[in-house]
Amino acid sequence: MAILCLASASPRRLELLASIDVDCEVRPVDIDETPLPGEQPRDYVCRLAREKARAGAALSDLPVLGSDTAVVFEGEILGKPRDRDHALEMLAMLSGNTHEVLTGVAVSGPQGMLDICVTTRVTLRAISHAEAAAYWATGEPQDKAGGYGIQGRAAVFVSHIEGSHSAVVGLPLYETAELLERQGVALWMSDSAAVS
């Protein structure tokens, strides 16, 4: 039985929640994801996470989780690629460099709106144009912020990560579990904690 409403169509976020035994009803919401003038990346992902959770709360009586992830390089938010050329351009920027992945999580529930932003630093090795083109041809990067998915084939490009791997995939599980517990969402270890 569902104990949480996920205000997202992301299969990756659903899989991450399932990995910690959180059964969700999925209620994708459609919000404008355009950054506000002068908005900082951290404020941007947290605002979108809250807006998604707020919109989801209108659709469900369960606690609602909203989340947003942004790849940021030198202060610039790199969204999902518009096309092949855009994807190759972003991978060329990230090639051999360290960038940040910011993931905002918001949970609406009995305690009101609780949110957090997690920053992870990711370093990619040098990626040749041919490798980037071959990666695009797999179809994997087409719906990924920054033009790559760390949980898939692009893992071979990642030379170092500092922070939460699951946050780069789409949901920082440690911090998300803390927010869910504060909202009274029972996690898999809740029963054993009560027994001991």
Model confidence pLDDT, tens digit, residues 77-127: 998 999 999 999 999 999 999 999 999 999 999 999 999 999 999 999 999
Note the pLDDT of residue 189.
Answer: 79
d(CA 42, CA 173): 18
Note the pLDDT of residue 72.
Answer: 97
Confidence of residue 191 (pLDDT cuts 50, 70, 90): low
Per DSSP, the three-state class of 60 is coil
What kind of fold does domain 4-195 have according to CATH? Answer: Maf protein (3.90.950)
Note the pLDDT of residue 194.
Answer: 44
Q: Is 143 a catalytic residue?
A: no
For the chain, domain boundaries:
4-195
**Alpha-carbon distances, residue 171 vs 97, 118, 146, 147 (angstroms):** 23, 9, 16, 18
d(CA 101, CA 52): 19
Strands (E), the chain: 4-6, 24-26, 64-73, 76-78, 98-109, 112-124, 158-162
Cα 25 from chain centre: 18
Q: Which of 23, 30, 68, 191 is catalytic?
A: 68
d(CA 178, CA 185): 10
Per-residue pLDDT tens digits for 50-69: 999 999 999 999 999 999 99
